[in-house]
Amino acid sequence: MSRQVRALLAGACMTAVVACAGSAVESTPPPAVAPQVPELKPGVPAGYLGRALPDSLALVPQPPAPGSSAFAQDEAVHKAAQALRNTPRDTLATSDADLHFPHAASTFDCALGKTVSKDATPRLYLLLQRTMVDGGMATYKAKDHYKRQRPFVHYDEHTCAPGEEAALRNDGSYPSGHTAIGWTWGLVLVEVAPDRADAVLARARSFGESRLVCNAHWQSDILAGRTVAAGAVARLHTDATFRADVAAARDELNAAALADSTKCAAESALVSPITGAL
């Protein structure tokens, strides 16, 4: 996750998020449209947690040192992932790199078996937007502390998103923000659609591993991103507004249209684990 994305997630309104969080009443029936929420900037909803994020520096160990056996594992997985460039898996990885909405809202359509959109599932759409902020921002205490070099810089290679490489060069690799976002979404969506848990978590795993294919992260960055996401979701459960939105999203999803079967047939062949990745 680049500093451009960080700028999208962070902002002057973060203090206001803390003041506004928890204002919804959990027993209130969900409205037909998404409720008003604080914004980081016009059109970009704030997260639920504000500054009450988990401490990623306390949650994850130091990244593997060059020359260590753990770094050798990172290098081995990097090699396996780069063998997938210019394949359909690379196409999925490039799609997963784009965190902008409405594109990102469709990430879990096939795993859920339903189509997610701002018009048809407004509370679920908003839930994904807000938890993206919490999961992504939770990685930055460790990112800024370790300032780990990304694999494409280490090897003098390229990523699946060349236009973002200048920003990524100065953005810490550890933990992976994209992975934290994807795993946060996965854990939240399991509560929205518990009957689809296996498919949702498999897609959340593959979303993080797309960063390996994109050459933007090491495997250890991915694993640390999942840990941070788990911490963020644990915090989210203390927020009444979040819990109400999960319940409303569950009702919306039950009535949503089925996902595109053609798209899902193609995606199903691409979400298996990358060789050597954990």
What letter represents residue 132's amino acid? M
Q: Residue 147: what are its φ and ψ, rounded to 5°?
A: 45, 50
Mean pLDDT of the region 182-209 = 98
Distance between CA atoms of residues 172 and 63, nearest Å: 11
Closest C-alpha among 76, 81, 79, 80 to residue 64: 76
Give yes or no for residue 18 having a pLDDT over 50.
no
Mean pLDDT of the region 89-93 = 98
Structural contact between residues 48 and 134, judged by C-beta atoms closer than 8 angstroms: yes
Distance between CA atoms of residues 223 and 176, nearest Å: 8
What are the tens digits of pLDDT across the range 205-226? 999 999 999 999 999 999 999 9
Residues with Cβ within 8 Å of 234's Cβ and at least 6 positions away in sequence, in order, are: 54
What letter represents residue 274's amino acid? I
Domains of the chain as residue ranges with CATH: 3-7+69-268 (1.20.144.10)
Mean pLDDT of the region 233-239 = 98
Model pLDDT, residue 33: 56
Give yes or no for residue 12 having a pLDDT over 50.
no
pTM: 0.89
Catalytic residues, by residue number, are 178, 211, 217, 221
Structural contact between residues 131 and 189, judged by C-beta atoms closer than 8 angstroms: no
**For residue 45, what are the β-bridge partners?**
39
Structural contact between residues 185 and 253, judged by C-beta atoms closer than 8 angstroms: no
What are the tens digits of pLDDT across the range 119-142? 999 999 999 999 999 999 999 999
